[in-house]
């Protein structure tokens, strides 16, 4: 079935396959013994993903007052947001009436209008970092200790500015997608690396810098595609003494030297390194990229242990789902955002351990709920109002009929009803837009908030070059980002790490550093091009016009190993 995206600014054609329709039928809920079919999507996969991401603020944190206790909290909701926000400790407690905001469904009005009104009065948690210790400035980040600005990352200790599923790391700074790493900085998609900086897609490496796609290497600098090597400089084998002398002469504790080799690193990525077209490991009948131990996964990215999934992203142990964003241990999910341990969910956001829950947000351990917000351990609720099982089964089909008539059934929450401005959300990372484009579409844009007054403001270009020349009171300065002019601070824990690792003080705002790390990841799209070794046609996340050397899987493995 060929369809065209209904968004006026898109209008891209997209295909809904027989497999899509079969999965939608399986995903459709049952009430009173009758299955209520979910219709084919009206938006293309990219616009659907963009819409879900607009409900996801990960990195923008604010000071706000808890609406129950009056105390100041750290929140993803700025003070001007007309939401009811509770300190997360209070929100998780039983010391308030979850059903006090419940209301009867009004059949004269659209569902999404009524749900939006409920979502602003029903309490929501200020932030989500359950089980963490001394880690107030973290979000979507459980069980961290002594961490700061760790986002979408858990089970870490003494880490700063690590993001995007960085887990079980210790003493790491400015990393993205790192697992089981220690004493690492500026690393992207690396595993089990130690005492290393500026690594990209490396594994089991130690004391390495500016390396790409290296495995089981140590004491290597500026290298690519190496396996089980030691004392290599820009892929040239040296003796230990030669390597030590070479490294000693570099003085990468100076910003100018570190920047020089970072430029060389990116040049090597483009001109010398071999890139495999896509990464799929132990997977069957699957398309997309970074797919590990999956089966029947189509057009999906960053997936592991998944089966029968379509248009899904950042999933683990998920089955029979479509348009699911970051579920772990999920099944039968459609148009969901961050719903771990969820079974049979449609259009849910940030709802955990739920079963048969539809069009709901911030619901935890709930069963058989429809259009609910902020409930714990509830059952048979509609718009936060309690019903008997018989009333629930009778009323929900009537609401679905109303939603069908209004063109709402089968859709996720509308973009314009997100509490966040577009540039506060992850949508801006994957689908960047100008302020003008955002306002033209009727969405919100938020200006940056001013930084508190500091004792001293210094442009990044005027910082001392060497880490040894940076005074300890830099923690009281504001530094103007070299790229954006946005002011930022160096915190004490960060300065101590830089001194220990002999790294220069960064010249870019943390958001700009994150943006540059994200740019090292390829787009979540596939293009057709030819293997530059054997010439056969391949699908790849590298746009054909890009300069990198891209090989098919077979040629890549033969070359690297």
Handedness of CA 113, 116, 121, 123 (dihedral sign): positive
| Percentage with pLDDT > 90 across the chain | 96
β-strand pairing of 307-310 with 328-337: unpaired
Q: How confident is the model at residue 536 (pLDDT cuts 50, 70, 90)?
A: very high
Tally of CB atoms within 10 A around 442: 9
Contacting residues for 271 by C-beta, under 8 A, at least 6 apart: 547, 549
- Asked whether residue 449 carries a pLDDT value surpassing 80, the answer given is no
Residue 448: pLDDT over 90 = no
3-state secondary structure of 156: coil
Confidence grade of residue 447 (pLDDT, cut at 50, 70, 90)? confident
CA distances from 367 to 172, 246, 372, 374 (A): 39, 63, 11, 13
Place of tokens 């290599």: 232
Question: In the predicted model, is pLDDT for residue 507 greater than 80?
Answer: yes
CB burial string 354-386: b at 16+ within 10 A, e below = bbbbbbbbbbbebbbbbbbbbbeebbbbbbbbe
| Percent of the chain predicted with pLDDT > 70 | 99
Among the listed residues 74, 104, 92, the one whose alpha carbon sits nearest the alpha carbon of residue 364: 92
pLDDT in tens, 358-406: 999 999 999 999 999 999 999 999 999 999 999 999 999 999 999 999 9
Q: How much is the mean pLDDT over the chain? A: 95
State yes or no: pLDDT of 255 exceeds 70.
Answer: yes
- Cα–Cα distances (Å) from 545 to 90, 242, 287, 529, 542, in that order, read 53, 39, 21, 9, 8
Q: Give pLDDT tens digits for 22-69.
A: 999 999 999 989 999 999 999 999 999 999 999 999 999 999 999 999
Q: Is 452's pLDDT higher than 80?
A: no
Which residues sit opposite 479 in a β-bridge? 458, 488
Q: Where are the domains of the chain?
A: 2-48, 190-276, 280-411, 456-518, 527-560
Alpha-carbon torsion angle 106, 112, 116, 118, nearest 10: 40
What is the Cα–Cα distance from 44 to 309, expressed in whole angstroms? 17
Q: pLDDT (tens digit, 9 = 90+) per residue, 299-312?
A: 999 999 999 999 99
What is the CA 453 to chain-centroid distance, rounded?
31
Q: Would you say 531 and 555 are in contact if contact means Cβ atoms under 8 Å apart?
A: yes
Q: Is the entire prediction scored with pTM above 0.95?
A: no
DSSP secondary structure letters along 323-366: EEES-EEEEEEEEEES-TT-EEEEEEES-BS-EEEEEEES-BS-
Q: Closest by alpha carbon to 43, among 311, 303, 297, 307? A: 311
450, pLDDT greater than 80: no
Q: How many residues does the chain have?
A: 561
**Contact (CB, 8 A) for 496 and 284:** no
Instruction: Give Cβ neighbours of residue 471 (< 8 Å, ≥ 6 apart).
Output: none
Beta bridge partners of 539: 528
Residue 231 has pLDDT above 80, yes or no: yes
| Predicted pLDDT at 451 | 67
The DSSP letter of residue 520 is: T
Report pLDDT digits (tens) over 457-477.
Answer: 999 999 999 999 999 999 999
* Tokens at 476, concatenated: 């009281």
Segment 11-21, tens digit of pLDDT:
999 999 999 99
CA distances from 220 to 171, 183, 485 (A): 21, 16, 34
State mean pLDDT over 120-146: 94
């Amino acid at each position: 079935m060929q369809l065209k995206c209904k968004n006026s600014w898109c209008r891209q054609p997209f295909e809904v396959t027989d497999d899509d329709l079969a999965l939608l039928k399986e995903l459709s809920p049952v009430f009173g013994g009758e299955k209520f079919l979910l219709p084919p999507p009206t938006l293309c996969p990219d616009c659907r993903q963009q819409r879900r991401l607009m409900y996801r603020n990960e990195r923008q944190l604010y000071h706000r007052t808890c609406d129950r206790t009056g105390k100041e909290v750290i929140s993803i909701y700025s003070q001007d947001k007309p939401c009811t926000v509770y300190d997360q400790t209070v929100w998780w407690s039983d010391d308030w009436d979850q059903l006090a905001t419940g209301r009867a469904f009004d059949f004269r009005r659209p569902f999404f209008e009524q749900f939006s009104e409920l979502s602003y009065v029903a309490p929501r948690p200020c932030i989500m970092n359950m089980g963490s210790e001394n880690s107030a400035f973290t979000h979507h980040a459980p069980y961290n200790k002594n961490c700061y600005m760790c986002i979408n990352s858990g089970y870490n200790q003494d880490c700063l500015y690590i993001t995007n599923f960085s887990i079980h790391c210790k003493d790491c700074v400015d990393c993205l997608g790192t697992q089981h790493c220690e004493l690492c900085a500026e690393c992207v998609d690396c595993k089990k690396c130690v005492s290393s900086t500026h690594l990209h897609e490396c594994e089991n490496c130690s004391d390495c810098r500016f390396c790409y796609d290296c495995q089981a290497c140590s004491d290597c600098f500026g290298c690519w595609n190496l396996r089980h090597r030691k004392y290599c400089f820009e892929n040239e084998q040296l003796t230990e003494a030669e390597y030590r002398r070479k490294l000693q002469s570099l003085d990468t504790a100076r910003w100018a030297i570190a920047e020089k080799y970072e430029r060389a690193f990116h040049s090597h990525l483009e001109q010398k390194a071999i890139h495999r077209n896509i990464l799929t490991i132990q997977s069957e009948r699957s398309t997309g990229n970074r797919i590990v131990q999956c089966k029947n996964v189509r057009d999906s990215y960053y997936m592991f242990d998944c089966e029968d999934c379509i248009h899904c992203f950042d999933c683990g142990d998920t089955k029979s789902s479509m348009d699911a964003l970051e579920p772990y241990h999920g099944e039968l999910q459609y148009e969901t955002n961050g719903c771990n341990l969820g079974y049979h969910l449609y259009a849910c956001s940030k709802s955990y351990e739920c079963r048969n829950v539809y069009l709901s947000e911030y619901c935890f351990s709930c069963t058989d709920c429809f259009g609910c917000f902020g409930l714990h351990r509830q059952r048979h609720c509609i718009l936060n109002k309690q019903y008997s099982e018989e009333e629930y089964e009778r009323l929900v089909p009537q609401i679905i009929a109303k939603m069908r008539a209004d063109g709402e059934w089968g859709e996720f929450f509308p973009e314009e009803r997100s509490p966040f401005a577009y540039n506060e959300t992850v949508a801006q990372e994957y689908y960047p837009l100008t302020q003008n484009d955002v306002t033209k579409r009727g969405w919100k844009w938020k200006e940056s908030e001013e930084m508190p007054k500091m004792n001293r403001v210094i442009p990044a270009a005027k910082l001392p070059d060497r880490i040894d020349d940076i005074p300890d009171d830099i923690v009281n300065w504001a530094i103007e980002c070299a790229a954006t002019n946005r002011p930022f601070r160096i915190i004490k824990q960060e300065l101590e790490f830089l001194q220990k690792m002999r790294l220069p003080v960064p010249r870019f705002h943390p958001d700009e550093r994150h943006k540059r790390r994200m740019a090292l990841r390829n787009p979540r799209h596939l293009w057709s091009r030819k293997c530059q070794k054997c010439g056969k046609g391949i699908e790849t996340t590298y746009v054909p016009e890009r300069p990198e050397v891209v090989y098919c899987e077979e040629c890549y493995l033969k070359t690297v190993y």
